[in-house]
Amino acid sequence: MTTDTKTTSSAPYLLALQAARKSYNVGQPSEVEVLHGVDLHVQAGEFVALVGPSGSGKSTLLNILGLLERMSAGSYCLQGQETSQLNDEGLTLLRRQSLGFVFQFHHLLPAFTALENVTLPALMAQGVVTSQDKARATELLKAVGLAQALHKKPSELSGGMQQRVAIARALVHQPPLVLADEPTGNLDTQSSQDVFSLLRDIHASQGTAFLIVTHDPSMAQRCDRLVEVVDGKIAQDTHTQV
């Protein structure tokens, strides 16, 4: 593994993945291991690109970091909590508290307005949307440039605008870390630039950590750190010059 020589901060890790392995079809003739002892650490406030060829294991890695899949072996601490000790309910609670998600496809509910989509995490967590939740969602939609689109449905918004709604939704509960899986992969060039610039602005203004999966080399180089996954292992982990 290639690493740079920059001195790292003494701040505690936001996430710490140690010797992570993941196998599918365990015990069957078709058993295959896709992650082979992966170590990955991310500190609070980092802006990290996760890259690698198709089939390299980065999607599986992101699913494990997002508490959507369990490891076959290894240790994963998120905000100091060892996740392997948690049951499904505990994982769901930690996921809600610690993580925001942005995907290539925004997954907005078509019958909901932009404001309703952004308050959806509160509705799912609490069973009700409070006035404070609505105020926070409104503030975020204004921050991402959608002050005039609060009550519009996804079909009334461009692809870039829909992704901005998805970003606001990911941030509404103020997570310390956002996992973004190809967040600009379904957008045109200008919208991609705009959305990436928005993520950088949020990082700068709020200190939110981002881990972004991307196939775009130019975008990866605009992140502060680049982690490359090849054949289920970390092949490179360097700081970029931005």
Residue 26: its pLDDT value, please? 83
Q: Radius of gyration (Cα) for the chain, nearest Å?
A: 18
Residue 97: its pLDDT value, please? 86
pTM of the model: 0.85
Cα–Cα distance between 63 and 59 in angstroms, integer? 6
Cα–Cα distance between 124 and 144 in angstroms, integer? 23
The helix/strand/coil state of 138 is helix
Domains of the chain: 11-24+33-239 (3.40.50.300)
Give the list of residues 6+ apart from residue 34 with CB closer than 8 angstroms, or none: 22, 23, 24, 57, 60, 232
Q: Low-confidence residues of the chain, pLDDT below 50? A: 1-10
> What six digits make up the tokens of 114?
């932009």
Residue 3: its pLDDT value, please? 44
Quick check: 112 and 100 in contact, CB under 8 A?
no
How many residues belong to the chain?
242
Cα–Cα distance between 179 and 6 in angstroms, integer? 24
- Name residue, tokens 């009550």: 151
Residue 242: its pLDDT value, please? 52
Nearest to 94 by CA among 11, 207, 177: 177
Question: Cβ of 128: how many Cβ atoms within 10 Å?
Answer: 8
Cα–Cα distance between 76 and 13 in angstroms, integer? 11
Helix axes 159-171, 189-206, angle to 10 degrees: 20
